[in-house]
Structure 1
């Protein structure tokens, strides 16, 4: 399997010995630390915060009450295995044979040609696919379980199935075997070094490196669009960007990013920066950059984020530009907050402070939260709140781990293979650098958000949530609104965002972009990628809307610009951020 005719320098045994000795010494320390933590854990390290054990116990009880179904599934699996053995025997004798099981379209785990061309690896692949299909089918077809338990069992069965893929093991992955022979095993040694580094980086917990973080520096090659911090308070800094046109739209643009990650998802590199592009279209752009909270901000509430975030920013922007209203954008959780702000201003008779509202992949109705809902039940929330109350926040790495498990093959196992088995360095990727730059969540705010939005789903109900003494009623929102959702979004499923968009009473334009939560939004026109769907007719549900929607190739950004331009109120000379930060800070304190 080694490459013919290639000249490779043989591995240096002395270097490998030294490396292995270093790995052994560092590993011993990690193991000792792990044992110490387990010994001091109140539960001996046997926590089951997700109540997974009980879920599978419930499944087993229901399964045993219908043994005939299990027998039927077992017989089907044996028939599939017999078919596989027959086709494999035919292939080994040189005959053509159609596969019994094939990977799903887009499954990159089996992209190497050996998975198809080599009879042994083809047999391993198909055996795994048949077993995975049988296992997931058995747990999915069990009757009598409540829906949440059934979803939990399905999800964790898939996690197990994904983890056991033959591509994840050195002896059953043809790429790894080939690399091991070619390098004399140096790939595995280097992979051990990578593994140890990631364990040390996570202080005993595996924190997989997804990108070469040394290749990026905030303010240099990411988040590099020129601008200034013009104000700050305990929860945010307000950024104003330098214009690149002689004239700008009269009405400013205020962007409210989520505080689950850093704001610069909309300003990664010049070629995919929404902020830079909006400036080039003539917008005076202001962006909230949220604080990464420590324990001293544990009591900060969802109300505090509304007061010290968009409400404070509206007053500052008005002082700087002289404009009474803005066009506002809210991304993900920032879009949920924007919906609350619209309702609050409507109740206060100040709805004209936001002339138009744009929601990027934002949920207002959490009826269909997708697989993230699996992590949110009473037991899980109680456990999570206990952890947060001890330190004052939820660490960003825990949120990242949750999101990664929803797409484990792409965001976990592909890096295990690349970093640890192939021994390769992670590829520099701006999006994954941003993804690793996670933020913490204050305990009070996050508990409110998870319980009121996800668990109880009362934001959609008139008066279901009260903020600053005002019952929030999304149905009273009359501000012209633009909703961008992503068809493959696993964080804010588009059917849920569509339901939220239907709550508003004002004019709404709903756009469905291709791809996922990030790529569906960060898709500049110059890339000429993906597509989006539009439908101006009312529809009873998301599927009906999509069935009659029109598809347009490329980015939705230009569609949004044509829509928002109706609310820009003409042109004025460009506004350059020049107000001293100290003066803005004093003004902000007076406001809040």
Structure 2
């Protein structure tokens, strides 16, 4: 048999394709039954919607086969494209290679899969009269099933894999097996070539000194790069569920370096990755012995009345609680301004992450956190599941099936550089905020015995959201505008949770939207907003300078890292960011 014959697929019968549809349909039925059990009753469907969906699916399916047969099927030189508007006509990056449409057999598989996906997702939408969160879980599970069953994920139904296997004599599969076994051993999916990066050398390399260390964090003071700096310094609070250097990647991407170059005295909190000694930590610790302690430390070091602050993601949520506590204690003037990078305070529309907080998930977390902390690899797996198509199956195909080398990509290296979380605090965070949404209920939460109320926050705030954010959806971030009482600027950035934040001006990428007057809703904001091309960082620094632009010499005394009362402990980025 010639190689060309091996590479030539055989057309499945109509009965075989019907069986495939039935198998996937049965899988969805299992998920429907599971959802019904969780809801405690039979899931009702909208009969008219179901009828329309089933009729449309049958008509589309018959039309697909008719087009295939009428045009000669496997005897064609090229596949017959689906009509515009058909589910099978939509663009999908998994099938972007011409091999998926040039060969009639693979085009039939592609179109059938997209048609079936559309049918099953529409059927989840036809579930009626159930809790919206239960319906969202069903749709999320259906999406996950469909992503896993995509024909691109299997060697015999992926033309690129078959071609690569024939060309390499199977070497791609051997190399892919090596990749897979290495990932199994380390318990984590690899996204990039980690040998190309080193924290402190080509990541987190902005010059500075660690000037304070506690059991919870190290405080980094970055060396000034300008002759004068703004009198009011900046403290950055990155999320402790990731390494801080997402804000200090390569120099051309580093927000930290850029902020230093704008004439700011920049300090940053590097959180310690949790271990067994941190098993009893709660939110109060991150507020009192973390953020407020750092704020007071910098104020005293530089002899200034207040500081600018940035809180990213969960650290932004915590910053809101910090501001509310300071307001309750009549100490709000310690913070001149607060910037929130993709941070939520109202979790009523928190997106797909809220699907991971049911009782079964809480029991699983307790089992995984028996040592007093949660291994960061489990959190990374959760975030990967939110974008399984891009962050899981894409790499299964490229790394395991095609046996491709890992590309060097600093952002993906950071994504895989996980941190551990204190178990007690993590559970409280999921239950009190994501599940019960207590932060926006005045007095429902207390810090160190003091009830807090976000409505008491009058600190000037800059709230940034990402238009395509799947972790902190823009609709959820927007809600902060309804709870703070001080002057507020809301900005919607292009892209998502990471690229929407880490977007240096020199890159010339994406865009952002602003309004001079804050409307009542995000939809109204989008309708009225002015679009500006490029990075939003210049907008932010202009806002910071509007708080007061008095400056001081940057090369004397405590403005130089280690030059004041707090001496240098070690060079930035410090040892906490490298700890496992």
Common topology (TM > 0.5): yes
Shift of 1:387: 3.6
Counterparts of 1:88-237 in structure 2 under 5 Å? 88-92=68-72, 97-99=81-83, 100-102=86-88, 104-105=90-91, 107-202=92-187, 207-237=188-218
SS in 1 for 2:546: helix
Q: Distance in 1 between matches of 2:150 and 2:497?
A: 26
Q: Does 1:327 align with 2:308?
A: yes
Tell which deviates more after alignment, 554-563 or 133-142: 133-142
Q: Does 1:576 align with 2:576?
A: no
Q: Distance in 1 between matches of 2:516 and 2:155?
A: 52
Q: Distance in 1 between matches of 2:44 and 2:295?
A: 60
In structure 1, the partner of 2:329 is: 348
Relative to 1, partners in 2 of residues 1:103 and 1:391: Cα closer, same or farther, differing over 3 Å? farther
In structure 1, the partner of 2:297 is: 316
Shift of 1:379: 3.7
In structure 2, the partner of 1:24 is: none
Q: Distance in 2 between matches of 1:537 and 1:334?
A: 27
2:220 counterpart (232, 239, 256): 239
Please, which runs of 5 or more residues in structure 2 have no aligned partner?
Answer: 5-30, 570-580
2:320 counterpart (318, 329, 339): 339
Q: Distance in 1 between matches of 2:165 and 2:336?
A: 61
SS in 1 for 2:141: helix
1:423 counterpart (403, 407, 410): 403
- Determine if contact 1:102/1:129 at 8 Å carries over to the other structure: yes
Paired residue total? 532
In structure 2, the partner of 1:297 is: 278
Relative to 1, partners in 2 of residues 1:342 and 1:523: Cα closer, same or farther, differing over 3 Å? same
Relative to 1, partners in 2 of residues 1:584 and 1:277: Cα closer, same or farther, differing over 3 Å? closer
- Determine if contact 1:346/1:476 at 8 Å carries over to the other structure: yes
Shift of 1:320: 2.1
In structure 1, the partner of 2:16 is: none
- Determine if contact 1:535/1:548 at 8 Å carries over to the other structure: yes
SS in 2 for 1:289: strand
In structure 1, the partner of 2:426 is: 446
Q: Deviations over 1:346-366 (max 9, x none)?
A: 111111110011000000111
- Determine if contact 2:280/2:422 at 8 Å carries over to the other structure: yes
Q: Does 1:528 align with 2:508?
A: yes
In structure 2, the partner of 1:9 is: none
- Determine if contact 1:63/1:70 at 8 Å carries over to the other structure: no
Q: Distance in 2 between matches of 1:478 and 1:65?
A: 48
- Determine if contact 1:252/1:284 at 8 Å carries over to the other structure: yes
In structure 2, the partner of 1:462 is: 442
Relative to 1, partners in 2 of residues 1:71 and 1:474: Cα closer, same or farther, differing over 3 Å? closer
SS in 2 for 1:270: coil
Relative to 1, partners in 2 of residues 1:188 and 1:383: Cα closer, same or farther, differing over 3 Å? closer
Tell which deviates more after alignment, 172-181 or 236-245: 172-181
In structure 2, the partner of 1:19 is: none
Shift of 1:404: 0.8
Q: Distance in 1 between matches of 2:323 and 2:3?
A: 63
Q: Does 1:365 align with 2:346?
A: yes
Relative to 1, partners in 2 of residues 1:480 and 1:59: Cα closer, same or farther, differing over 3 Å? closer
SS in 2 for 1:272: coil
SS in 2 for 1:482: strand
Counterparts of 1:486-525 in structure 2 under 5 Å? 486-525=466-505
In structure 1, the partner of 2:573 is: none
Q: Distance in 2 between matches of 1:96 and 1:102?
A: 12
- Determine if contact 2:124/2:139 at 8 Å carries over to the other structure: yes
- Please give the root-mean-square deviation of Cα atoms over the aligned residues, in Å: 2.4
2:231 counterpart (250, 262, 274): 250
Tell which deviates more after alignment, 319-328 or 362-371: 319-328
- Determine if contact 1:460/1:500 at 8 Å carries over to the other structure: no
- Determine if contact 1:90/1:97 at 8 Å carries over to the other structure: no
Q: Distance in 2 between matches of 1:480 and 1:526?
A: 28
Q: Distance in 1 between matches of 2:37 and 2:52?
A: 21
Counterparts of 1:469-488 in structure 2 under 5 Å? 469-488=449-468
In structure 2, the partner of 1:33 is: none
Please, which runs of 5 or more residues in structure 1 have no aligned partner?
Answer: 5-50, 586-592
Q: Distance in 1 between matches of 2:353 and 2:127?
A: 22
Q: Distance in 1 between matches of 2:565 and 2:351?
A: 42
**TM-score scaled to structure 1, two decimals?**
0.86
**TM-score scaled to structure 2, two decimals?**
0.87
- Determine if contact 2:209/2:568 at 8 Å carries over to the other structure: no
Q: Does 1:271 align with 2:252?
A: yes
Tell which deviates more after alignment, 537-546 or 224-233: 537-546
Tell which deviates more after alignment, 277-286 or 422-431: 422-431
SS in 2 for 1:391: coil
